Amino acid sequence: RKCLTLALVFLQLLGGFVRHILQKGKSIRELMEENGVLEGFLRNNEKADPASKYHFNKDAVAYEPIGNYLNAFYLGETSFGTPPQDFLVLCDTGSSNLWVLSTCCRTQACPANHNRFRGQTYTLSYGSDNLTVPLGYDTVTVQNTVVCNQEFGLSENEPIRPFYCSDFDGILGMAYPAMAVGSSPTVMQGILQQGQLSEPIFSFYFSGQPTQQYAGELILGGVDPQLYSGQNTWTPVTQEVYWQFGIEEFAMGNQATGWCSQGCQAIVDTGIFLLAVPQQYMNSFLQATGAQQAQNGDFVVNCNYIQGVPTITFVINGSQVPLPPSAYVFSNNGYYRLGIKATSLPSTSGQPLWILGDVFLKEYYSVYDIANNRVGFAYSA
């Protein structure tokens, strides 16, 4: 639930941009330049046609292309209802509920189609705002995977309506059922119960050179060997809530830090852009990278020191999983910014918790094995 909140913090940021525009009269372009992350948004704001990008050739495997929006959201197309209506949803391994914004319905028939509401609601926390989501059920389609009677929320009171419909219509949570608010069945549960996949596995590919049309893929029911190289490093899920696993050691450059000498935990979260570092190690992390916090909150590295930023390495189930500076340092209008953020999200074991977001997932193809409760990482193609 905390992680869902984190995912929603991004929504709030987006909302922040909107309020900015409304209050200060700034253009999106000005904000784009200020934030340095919104390139491409104006250039191509058309909804992508996914048809050209996915291959459809294997039985019972669905290839869901994922577009990149605002360089921070990775969205895939999902259809709801009969006849189906398309929504762009954030495929999020850091939460478990499915919901879309009713205001993003593109035809008047949409709310009418969802008249089978159970009269129940659940409430998601948006920082200080709350989002009340009535629950209904209908057919949900992700590429060639069709789930009947899938429960989902159709939110009516989302706070930042003007901006993100058509760019972002909802969230498709892919974490464990234990994380689902209101004990709603997850989409994966629906898919598996209805025998829609040959294997209870899904995997994510995030391209290193994302465009709005194609930033990666969600593969339901398997892996796509063309999208990774080498062997998968498998590791057991330590708690079946998030996709969470143990980290045995964390190194910066050639130096083991010892931060995980009592064990660390990590969750892999496609709904978060950054790499989140346990709060208690943030200062040491900044010191080892030579970064400082700028007034706008960014962690920046002076270009004279950029050569000194180390490769960081996680040891996961005995295997080294390195993340080079090219993966987590971004050149940003003449300065360098780290793609990191502190997190004080506690792990239930009390061990320090890392959150591996898209910064990590561009380097590593990730596999989520539901039957064996394990996560795999292989070098991204």
Ligand X SMILES: *[C@@H]1O[C@H](CO)[C@@H](O)[C@H](O)[C@H]1NC(C)=O
According to CB under 6 A, which one of 27, 44, 130, 231 is a site residue for ligand X?
130
Task: Between 11 and 282, name the residue whose CB sits nearer to ligand X.
Answer: 11
Q: Which of 3, 8, 29 lies closest to 17, judged by CA?
A: 29
The SS3 of residue 109 is helix
Quote the least distance from Cβ 349 to ligand X, whole Å: 18
Quote the least distance from Cβ 375 to ligand X, whole Å: 8
Task: Between 44 and 320, name the residue whose CB sits nearer to ligand X.
Answer: 320
List of residues 6+ apart from 381 with CB closer than 8 A = 205, 226, 227, 228, 229, 365
According to CB under 6 A, which one of 162, 208, 225, 236 is a site residue for ligand X?
236
- Shortest Cβ contact with ligand X: which residue? 234
Quote the least distance from Cβ 235 to ligand X, whole Å: 6
According to CB under 6 A, which one of 5, 213, 311, 317 is a site residue for ligand X?
317
Whether 269 sits among the annotated catalytic residues: the reply is yes
Quote the least distance from Cβ 376 to ligand X, whole Å: 8
Catalytic residue among 138, 167, 269, 369: 269
293 near ligand X, rule: CB under 6 A: no
128 near ligand X, rule: CB under 6 A: yes
Whether 224 sits among the annotated catalytic residues: the reply is no
Task: Pick the stretch among 113-121, 126-134, 189-197, 220-228 that binds ligand X (CB under 6 A).
Answer: 126-134
Task: Pick the stretch among 125-133, 254-262, 282-290, 306-314 that binds ligand X (CB under 6 A).
Answer: 125-133
374 near ligand X, rule: CB under 6 A: yes
Q: Find residue 202's DSSP bridge partners.
A: 220, 368
List of residues 6+ apart from 371 with CB closer than 8 A = 199, 200, 201
According to CB under 6 A, which one of 35, 78, 235, 347 is a site residue for ligand X?
235
Instruction: Read off the amino acid at residue 368.
Output: Y
Cα 313 to Cα 202, 248, 268, 327, 360: the distances in Å are 25, 11, 15, 12, 11
Q: How far apart are CA 292 and CA 50, in angstroms?
A: 41
Q: Which residue has the tokens 């346990």?
A: 278
371 near ligand X, rule: CB under 6 A: no
Q: How far apart are CA 150 and CA 190, in angstroms?
A: 6
Write out the binding residues for ligand X, residues 142-161 only, by CB under 6 A: none
Please state, as a whole number, how many other Cβ atoms lie within 10 Å of the Cβ of residue 190: 21
Cα 279 from chain centre? 21
350 near ligand X, rule: CB under 6 A: no
Beta-sheet strands, E only, within 296-363: 299-301, 312-316, 319-323, 329-332, 335-338, 340-343, 353-356
Q: How far apart are CA 190 and CA 208, in angstroms?
A: 31
Quote the least distance from Cβ 75 to ligand X, whole Å: 27
Q: Which of 235, 232, 229, 256 lies closest to 247, judged by CA?
A: 235
Q: Please answer whether residues 347 and 353 qualify as being in contact, where contact means their C-beta atoms are separated by less than 8 angstroms.
A: yes
Q: Please answer whether residues 166 and 47 qualify as being in contact, where contact means their C-beta atoms are separated by less than 8 angstroms.
A: yes
Task: Between 157 and 293, name the residue whose CB sits nearer to ligand X.
Answer: 157
How many residues form the binding site for ligand X (CB under 6 A)? 9
295 near ligand X, rule: CB under 6 A: no
DSSP state of 79: E
Task: Between 318 and 334, name the residue whose CB sits nearer to ligand X.
Answer: 318
According to CB under 6 A, which one of 25, 230, 318, 334 is a site residue for ligand X?
318
Question: Using CB under 6 A as the criterion, which residues of the chain lie in contact with ligand X when the complex forms?
Answer: 128-130, 234-236, 317-318, 374
- Which residues are marked as active site? 92, 269
